Chain A
Amino acid sequence: DAGITQSPRYKITETGRQVTLMCHQTWSHSYMFWYRQDLGHGLRLIYYSAAADITDKGEVPDGYVVSRSKTENFPLTLESATRSQTSVYFCASSAGQFRELFFGEGSRLTVL
């Protein structure tokens, strides 16, 4: 089915481990985004990408790495997870600037 899918939906890891959250969209949208959602903070932009091989930092990029070698995939990597990165992560895609964002169902990450 067409859409945007995130995996894994739930992940528990330990401090210092590397974690990769996957995001895949089937619409060929040019823009893709990673947000984190925390109580009291709403959604905060981590990284975004305007096209394959083009990425840029958002509001809270520290501790995260992204890549976009293919239009449809936008993985988010925590190179050395910390407890402060415990959060719900949402991937989103958009057909262009100022267009509607389509969100995945989220990946709940717990760092022990």
Chain B
Amino acid sequence: AQSVTQLGSHVSVSEGALVLLRCNYSSSVPPYLFWYVQYPNQGLQLLLKYTSAATLVKGINGFEAEFKKSETSFHLTKPSAHMSDAAEYFCAVSAPQGGSEKLVFGKGTKLTVNP
């Protein structure tokens, strides 16, 4: 069965600084990997998705993530944080199991951006 570990439940950065949110996954088969963002009092929305094409995936709002099979990682980065990036971020993994899809989410990382 697949699983996801997000390192750090809270990350704080200064505006303009690099954002790095860590995600490690476990899957017995090649996975699909996702990052979702949740703004306060809203549902989740997709930031980016890895589906075995390019290992470096670009998403919305300047975010990108790199799939590293050897490290079983899919860390999310953004070169320069904006105040509007303050939100909770979820990494998720999906892999075929018995013909069905089950998307498993990490516990989330809350990003704070300080002025």
Tell yes or no: B42 within 8 A of A by CB: yes
**In the complex, which residue of chain B has the Cβ closest to the Cβ of A58?**
B102
The interface stretch among A12-20, A63-71, A74-82, A98-106 is: A98-106
Q: When each residue 39-74 of chain A gets 1 if its CB lies under 8 Å from chain B and 0 otherwise, what string results? A: 011111100101000001010000000000000000
B residues 75-115 near A (Cβ < 8 Å) are: 90, 94, 96, 100-108
Tell yes or no: A84 within 8 A of B by CB: no
Query: Please, how many residues of chain A have a CB less than 8 angstroms from a CB on the other chain?
Result: 23
Given contacts A43-B90, A98-B32, contact A31 B42 (CB under 8 A): no
Tell yes or no: B12 within 8 A of A by CB: no
Q: When each residue 60-88 of chain B gets 1 if its CB lies under 8 Å from chain A and 0 otherwise, what string results? A: 00000000000000000000000000000
Query: Please, how many residues of chain B have a CB less than 8 angstroms from a CB on the other chain?
Result: 23
Given contacts A56-B100, A97-B96, A98-B94, contact A103 B105 (CB under 8 A): no
Contact among A42, A100, A104 with B105 in the assembled complex (CB-CB below 8 Å): A42
Interface centre among A31, A33, A40, A43, by most chain B C-beta atoms within 10 angstroms, is: A43
A105→B96 contact, CB < 8 A: no
Contacts of A34 in B (CB 8 A): none
Contacts of A90 in B (CB 8 A): 43-44
Q: What is the CB-to-nearest-CB distance from A63 to chain B, in angstroms, rounded to a whole number?
A: 20
Q: What is the CB-to-nearest-CB distance from A103 to chain B, in angstroms, rounded to a whole number?
A: 3
Contact among B41, B51, B105 with A98 in the assembled complex (CB-CB below 8 Å): B51
**In the complex, which residue of chain B has the Cβ closest to the Cβ of A42?**
B107
**In the complex, which residue of chain A has the Cβ closest to the Cβ of B31?**
A98
Interface centre among A44, A48, A101, A104, by most chain B C-beta atoms within 10 angstroms, is: A101
Q: Considering the complex of A and B, which 5 residue pairs feature the smallest CB-CB distances, nearest first?
A: A103-B43, A42-B107, A97-B101, A43-B105, A103-B44
**17 further contact pairs, Cβ within 8 A, besides A56-B100, A97-B100, A101-B44:** A31-B101, A33-B103, A35-B105, A42-B108, A43-B108, A45-B102, A48-B102, A90-B43, A97-B101, A98-B94, A100-B34, A101-B103, A103-B45, A104-B43, A105-B41, A106-B42, A106-B43
